[in-house]
A and B are shown apart, each in its own frame.
Chain A
Amino acid sequence: MTALLGLAALLLHAALMLAAAPVLVGLIRRIKARLLGRLGAPVTQPWRDLARLMRKEPVLAENASPLFILAPAIICAATIVAALFVPSFALGMSTAPLADLIVLAGLLALGRVVLTLAALDVGTAFGGIGASRESFFAAFAEPALMLVVLVLGLLCGTTNLNVIADTLRQFAPGLSVALGLALPATLLTALAEMGRLPVDNPATHLELTMVHEAMALEYSGRHLALIEYAASLRQLIWLSLIAAIYLPFGMAPEGAGPLAWGFGLLAWGGKLLVLSLALAVLEVCVAKMRVFRVPELLGLAVLLGLLASVFLFLGQGFA
């Protein structure tokens, strides 16, 4: 019975994640537009853009290799599998035993590395600039993320996301100093990994400031659609991850029925709304950073992660 429920929850979760990813992008854009005094496009606009791109005929650069053509599928696959691991409204999905945080980071890294390779494939300056910067940011985001995983792993005894979310949901440690320090570290890492301001400007069309856009510059048609889709899904993964760890209330526990799911769905939607609002407000308020200032930002995240672990060692029994 529990297994069946887990499977049903996974299917619903997968459908919702896949459907909601572009909507979330539209939502953030819409909130930003309203904050700036514009009306903004409807939240379904990204879906329409994707549908339009899928219809269009792609054009490849003359020297594009098979890797360039297959890369969108690999990137999409890695991101989709990562999306299956991050609990949204219910715990105990069928993929829960696989949902290790290090594996999750590895899957996102797989998508990123393939995209940087694709960016270098045609041999243009902009592809190179994007690839170089993306690798650069990722190398500094990784330590901060791993320190957060260390803190969570010590708090909950495992690095499995499902167990972590469940533990934090049941035994809410209140205002734990370690978690309080890990939260900003996670948020800063997430900003860099999602490619949002102040690390990367998702709305830019000025070549020299682009990171993600520069890597996807040579793509068109359905290839571009898959890459854009994977980017939006990656954003939803990060927001859901933050929600599952730091706002774990409302999630349906393992083995709970559809009634609890309904509550969990409402809670998930509410959390995403709050996080999108916060993201939009942040993006309206800050400007993009110089490339060499970004490691300082991520260095701050590493420092916070280190502080969090030290506070944890001080506070816990094994200190």
Chain B
Amino acid sequence: MLLAGLLATACAAALAPGAARAVPAVTTMLCGGGLLLDFIYLATGAVPTALPLPFGLPGFGMSLALDALSGFFLVPVLLAGACAAASAPDRPERSAPLLPAFLAGMLLALLAGDAFGLALGFEAMSVASWGLVLAGGEAARGRRAGRLYLGMAIMSGVALVSALALLLPTDGLLPGFGFGAIRDAASLPAPSWRGAAVLGLILIGAGSKAGLVPLHAWLPVAHPAAPSHVSALMSGGMTKVAAYVLVRVLFDLAGPATPAWWGVPLLVMGAASAVLGALRANVEGDMKAALAASTVENLGLIAVGLGVGLLARGSDLPVLAAFALGGALLHVLNHAVFKTLLFLCAGAVQHGAGTRRLALLGGLIHRMPGTTLCALAGAGALAALPPFSGFASVWMILQSLFAAPRIGGLALPALIAVIAALVALSGGLAAAAAVRLIGIVFLGRPRSPRVAAADEEAPRRLAVLRVLAGLSVLLGLFPGLGLILAGPALEGLTGVALEGRTGIWAIAPARDAPAYAAPAIAALLALAGLAAAVLLLRRRNGGVVEGRIGGLAEIPRGPAWDCGFAAPPPWLPFGDPATQYGGLSLAQPFIHLLGRGLLGARESVDMPGPGQTRPARYTLRWRDPAETWLHHPVLRLRHWLTLRANRMQFLTIRRTLVVVVSALLALLIVLAAWGLA
């Protein structure tokens, strides 16, 4: 099928250097076709189907399976894949064959019908994207990012495989790997430690790929290091695969009767990720790093939705569970669209203006109006403003949080109140981050001569941006469309359909309850905006309304008032760049208040004494505490293990034989013991 096509593309591209040029086009077509097939599948009722493969583990084989949940998650991944491939650079790079391989890994993880396939796809995705991170951009930064990424990927792989192994049925001689067998096993009573271990391991395995706090620090380093279209696919697609693994294991494979407290770690990690991610999005000085940090925030919001869903399902509130899970799934879709869009916009900026550093950018709206418009649509969704797409899903997640205290107890509702406050704080921080991205990069005056001469993005890639921006706006106006795609999956996982509560025109937390009606609000906004625009665009000598924006050209212009500052000298054509607020100064209040505690920020101001003419200097140093306390120990451990393992390469033939034979013996003993038990 599709998977085979992508793999074949990758192989063909890897073997024949001449074919590399066609890779992006073929990948785009395959993804588009797959997306179409997936839509048809979801629209026709999403009947689960399985396809045994003729290869795989000896004795067990492997199978592909498509059900409503896989079908839903295929949408964001294929969409991000198609758009990323369509905006690949014109001149193929050496890493081009890795892109379809990366996509194939993600698709295998989504379509796997057994634990082996899931783990295999997950690891293939990790390895291929690691290669892409290494291949992208600046050598030194890429290598550092690659090291960090590899360490975290190994950790997450180990945790994921162990979690899946714990889920496997243990009765009978040898376990079965199929999801069906795992589900059957989950309905049997099991020691309670095993459930807790599965939860903990899956939170490490999938959570570190999704960038949940405290496993997040690698993400804002590794995602931006890859080429922009790959970063878009990593943030827009790969994090969704991690979310899929979370949903698949916690809601599906772990059985229908998971305890309610399973939601609590997800809630806590999600809220912490939301706040820390949004804060880092305000502090990062690189456009793509800020976007990657905001990915951490959005995955945190998704985790909060999943947490409420687990909590409600475990407390026999399937209606609330379906709504919370619906919010999380809708946010998966929304985030995939707008984050892919924004990363591709960052790529356009890098391409057109030659840099991604906020300290050098500015005023691109005049040079790149098309890109700016698309970035505005993405930023509106990022800031979760109505009627843009991020708002609807955040609204659903907030509504489910507001209903969750009804679950009972005293500690749990108090915790939920704190979580709601943190989610709201992250919303405010995300809005600030969106303002910072747009305001510093696209508005204001250029901060360097190269940026003042930036070029608009090439038409092909601009068209991709427009498609994504259009999709984002469409999802914002009609959030019900996304929920229709998620509908069969929700019904399968919670046993309750969202019918009667979500439609094209409105989404409501309960039947016959007041709702969020995005189209109506957008229509009202358009009406009021039109009235205000009529006032605004009047010709000055009468009440005649000007045709559209044509009247803007007639408004007289003068130097900026700026409270009477003198006009800049002629050798500074855009004024002194230092007299305008920059990315760091805009975020300084947040750094001062929150960054010191949460990001370990240290500010120092060097103020000249009276009479001295040297300038004052402000320096900021910060390092995410998670990087110091978690990531570096993991990296050191990996390095140490690698050095130990490396010795095996230089063993004498005798010792090699001893190692091989003893490994074989140990395996046989384990198998024999298993058989006896």
Contact = CB atoms under 8 A, between A and B. Distances in A.
Contact of B586 (A76, A77, A126, A128): A128
Contacts of A140: 425, 428
A106 B386 contact: yes
Chain A CB count within 10 A is highest, among B414, B517, B528, B592, for B528
Interface residues of B, number: 90
A63 to B, nearest CB: 6
Interface in B383-403: 383-386, 391, 395, 398-399, 401-403
B418 interface: yes
Given A102-B398, A106-B385, A139 B528 contact: no
Given A113-B383, A129-B581, A302-B421, A63 B445 contact: yes
Contact of B528 (A81, A121, A218): A81
A180 B117 CA distance: 57
Given A116-B435, A117-B443, A292-B592, A124 B402 contact: no
24 contacts: A59-B558, A61-B560, A62-B560, A74-B532, A77-B526, A110-B386, A120-B440, A120-B586, A123-B443, A123-B575, A131-B439, A132-B588, A135-B428, A135-B431, A136-B432, A143-B421, A143-B422, A143-B425, A144-B421, A147-B424, A217-B563, A218-B561, A305-B417, A313-B410
Contacts of A67: 365, 376, 443
The 7 closest A-B pairs by CB, nearest first: A128-B581, A139-B428, A120-B439, A123-B444, A160-B514, A77-B529, A146-B424
B431 A139 contact: yes
Interface in A18-64: 54, 57-64
Q: What class of interface size applies to chain A in its complex with B?
A: 35 or more
B545 interface: no
A162 B514 contact: yes
B405 A98 contact: no
Contacts of A318: 405-406, 408, 413
Given A61-B557, A107-B386, 13 more contacts: A59-B555, A109-B431, A113-B385, A121-B444, A122-B560, A132-B589, A146-B420, A160-B513, A218-B562, A226-B532, A305-B417, A309-B413, A313-B405
Contacts of A65: 365-366, 443
A147 B520 CA distance: 27
A112 B435 CA distance: 10
A120 B447 CA distance: 13
B434 interface: yes
Interface string B351-371: 000000000001101100000
Interface in B113-153: none
A127 interface: yes
Interface string A51-93: 0001001111111111101101110111011001000000000
A172 interface: no
Interface of B: 362-363, 365-366, 376, 383-386, 391, 395, 398-399, 401-403, 405-406, 408, 410, 413-414, 417-418, 420-425, 427-429, 431-432, 434-436, 438-440, 443-445, 509, 513-517, 520-521, 524-529, 531-533, 535-536, 538, 540, 549, 552, 555-563, 565, 574-575, 579-581, 585-590, 592-593
A16 interface: no
B420 A150 contact: yes
Interface of A: 54, 57-67, 69-70, 72-74, 76-78, 80-81, 84, 95-100, 102-103, 106-107, 109-110, 112-113, 116-117, 119-129, 131-133, 135-136, 138-147, 149-150, 153-154, 158-160, 162-163, 207, 217-218, 222-223, 226, 291-292, 295, 302, 305-306, 309-310, 313-314, 318-319
B520 A98 contact: yes
Contacts of B427: 142
Given A120-B439, A139-B429, A60 B402 contact: no
Contacts of B559: 61-62
B579 to A, nearest CB: 5
A277 B429 CA distance: 34
Contacts of B586: 120, 128, 131-132, 135
B435 A113 contact: yes
Given A139-B590, A140-B428, A81 B439 contact: no
B274 to A, nearest CB: 12
A232 to B, nearest CB: 14
Contacts of B588: 132
A99 B532 contact: no
A123 B451 CA distance: 15
